[in-house]
Amino acid sequence: MADDGRVDSAELRRLEECVREPIRTPGRIQSHGILLAVDPATFEIVVASENAREWLGRPISELQSPTIEWSATAGLQGDPVRVELSGAPYDAITHMVGGRIVLELEPAVAIAGQPTYSVVEAIRRLGLVAELDDLRRETAAEVKRMTGFDRVMVYRFFEDGHGEVAGEAAETDMEPYQGLRFPASDIPQQARALYLTKLSRAIVSTDDLGTPLVALDAAEPPLDLSQAELRAVSPHHLEFMRNMGQASTVSFSLIHDGRLVGMITCAHRTPKRMPVLLRRAIEVLAAQMTLQLVALESIAALRHDLSLQGRRGVLLSALPSAADPLLALVAQGGQLLELVGADGAIVSIDGVSRSIGRVPHTDRSQLLDSIGIEAFQTDEVARTHPGLAGLIAGFAGLLVASLGPRGVLVLFRVEATQVIRWLGDQSADNRDTPLSPRRSFSEWKESVSGRSLAWGETAREVRELGREIAGALERHGEAQLAQLALIDYLTGLHNRRSLEGRIEAALATAPVPGGIVLFLDLDGFKQINDRLGHETGDAVLRTVADRLTGACRSTDLVSRLAGDEFVVFSPGTVDADGDALAGRLVDLVNLPIETDRGIVQVSGSCGFVEIATRSSAKDVIDAADAAMYRAKRGGRNRVSR
């Protein structure tokens, strides 16, 4: 195993070798028990373990004793029944496979002197644990108390198959394994597949080579022992256990949503058997513990997602209304990098890009062209994308997220040397052959360079953030279109539609609406366009618009209707103040205007009316327009009502 995210060639060979082992049909059982396979039609024994050879081919009814009904065990499917055989007590367990009743007999285990903790009490105590790491450690401690095994470990598995000892309870003289990782080949895929259907497996002695199964008919197919309690173990695994100092183990599945997410493994330094009923009880505890693990993980994920959602909301709140969404994002660059756990970022929107934090010293356009817009992530760019490595020197992590059709977000992480703690030296020096198990399982530290911290769940979160930014950009575009529908493109003032809407709203919301409307028209503006050109005329209009806006309150609405016609709606202004405001606006228009064609001077005629006596916005504007024409007829450059 090269590290926690890559599988080297030797590890691949071990995984392939594991697949070839017939672990479902080994043809042997562990020799402490007896196995009989029975034809349900005749109740004849058709397969038996060699240590029960004398019964092979005989009806199971001949094994009748005064104390048990053998046929009654056939329907119990896994629940043990105490029986007596040749004067000794056995636990009888049955299941059906391949049209055969498989009857397994385990000598009853005396548990005198062992701690006998109630699984119900253990589940109750574990139910009070609120943290994931604590739950794994406490589960190991509870199972150790119940079983008396020397060491109990709780494993968790990662997406790539390797695992970690996430919880442990062990005797004080034993080397601790807590926090150590192990490669996928320690528990290969076909073994994990068995654990999905067989919830526990006991290996009583690593020195036991097992007892062969004997069939009455050579044509009898190999017996599938997937569900058997006594299934023998491969010699490779027995050697593995002996190298770990384990003489016996019992393991229990942790299954969620059809996937093996972990295991509880009990290990002892001498041969040791765990009673069947205790195994069944711990199977229940394992299932309950898995549910609790999933619940705690869900709660932690929910809290994390709620926190992310709140922080994203703050980050994106200004985007839809921002004049420039790219600059709005860059202005909050620190919060963005903290949110995604990156050292630097490049944000590109509508072909314009900006950088945040630490980014490669490379031409930004060239880098973006090389990266492209397809979403991907890597924490080892030199290995996965060697063509990009030279462009982002000093950085090992790269994540690209789409911002929809308008842009892309590129995140960078610097190289970070990591130390991984392994359960045993993972190099070839710790194996007799590449396919042999490790000789030593003492902690071995591997330093991994050339990589950044893994993106992990952050990749999913960044993709979600990208979708939210894309949505904000879409809303920004919609807001711009809506704004354009209400704004005069030349001056940036409100247009007639916006003006009428504001006046109609004022007329509708007040019993006696207050305010005035002023209509101002430039005198002789056509001559400016004809003599100096429309570009100069446009410059004059923009200057007049700026002067009018500067002279009005923030609550006033300044608009341009068309050509050189300007209208101001001043809510709350009374008729007595209208003359002063109108006169101030006319005086501002009279001031000289500097243009590329020299100084230009214009004047303005202004008319105003109160809105209180009007029935509609159109009526108000028409009345103000009429007042303005009275001013023009009166000599221009003046105010009229």
Contacts of 343 by beta carbon, 8 Å cutoff, 6+ apart:
337, 357, 358, 395, 412, 413, 414
Is 564 annotated as catalytic? yes
Residue closest to 461 by CA, chosen among 278, 304, 228: 304
Angle made by CA atoms 523, 524, 528, in degrees to the nearest 5: 130
The Cα–Cα gap between 129 and 238 comes to 35
**Which pLDDT band holds residue 68 (cuts at 50, 70, 90)?**
very low
Does the pLDDT at position 17 exceed 80?
no
Q: What is the pLDDT of residue 159?
A: 84
Whether 110 contacts 131, CB under 8 Å: no
Grouping H, G, I as helix, E, B as strand and the rest as coil, residue 333 is: helix
Q: What is the pLDDT of residue 294?
A: 95
Does the pLDDT at position 522 exceed 90?
yes
Write down the mean pLDDT value for the chain.
88
What is the CB-side half-sphere exposure of residue 402 using CA atoms within 13 A?
9
pLDDT in tens, 77-106: 667 888 887 788 899 999 999 999 999 999
pLDDT in tens, 565-587: 999 999 988 887 888 999 999 99
pLDDT in tens, 276-295: 999 999 999 999 999 999 99
Does the pLDDT at position 70 exceed 90?
no
Q: Catalytic: which of 488, 564, 587, 625?
A: 564
pLDDT in tens, 313-368: 888 888 888 888 889 899 999 999 999 999 999 999 998 999 999 999 988 889 99
Whether 439 contacts 431, CB under 8 Å: yes
Q: What is the pLDDT of residue 66?
A: 43
Choice among 139-153, 254-268, 442-456 with the minimum mean pLDDT: 442-456
Does the pLDDT at position 495 exceed 50?
yes
Does the pLDDT at position 439 exceed 70?
yes
Q: How many CB atoms lie within 10 A of CB 554?
A: 5
Q: What is the pLDDT of residue 437?
A: 82
